[in-house]
Amino acid sequence: MTWEQVLANPFLQNLPFKIELISFGQVLMSPVSNQHKIIQSDVGYELRRHKYNGRVINGCSIRTSDGVRVADIAWASEDFLAVYGEQTPYPQAPEICVEIVSPSNAKLEVKNRIELYLEQGALEVWIVNSKKQVSFFSRHGKLSKSKLLPKLKLLPE
């Protein structure tokens, strides 16, 4: 199955799942909670508020070496968008890719996502847990804070 077939498949429309296409054309569906969506909205708001010279993309599809993965949130610069526009999926990762994870996500799965997005050109990958704690990663490993958005605040005040 291709990503275009996934998008066109009427049985895969309007499902309460995050849908990805992994190795060998397998469809991966992950249920998403309201808490997940609230945190996703909060991250998107903070990105939009501080990184206004680009676009925030909810559910950004990216072609990776392990199929099409969908970052919960991504931030793409105007330069990125000038090259790739609205291609679906993107052949390269936008500058920032964000995954909202729950305690049930396996550490290996999260590590794999970080590697896939960085391999595809992301400058930073943010991992946000259910308590809105953020871990930042670049090609150089784990960062103490985002270099692209050092004043990020997600924790409730």
Instruction: Encode pLDDT of 100-109 as tens digits.
Output: 997 777 888 8
Instruction: Encode pLDDT of 37-91 as tens digits.
Output: 899 999 999 898 887 789 999 999 999 999 999 999 999 999 999 999 999 999 9
Rounded CA separation 124/156 (Å): 23
- 20 within domain boundaries: no
Rounded CA separation 83/91 (Å): 11
Find the farthest-apart pair of alpha carbons in the chain and give their distance in angstroms, rounded. 45
CATH code for the domain of 118: 3.90.1570.10
- 13 within domain boundaries: no
Quote the pTM value: 0.87
- 49 within domain boundaries: yes
pLDDT value of position 6: 86
Give the pair of three-digit tokens for residue 64.
């990776």
pLDDT at 154 over 80: no
Q: Which 8-state DSSP code applies to residue 12? A: G
Domain coverage including residue 60 = 32-143
What is the domain count for the chain? 1
Instruction: Encode pLDDT of 126-142 as tens digits.
Output: 999 988 899 999 999 99
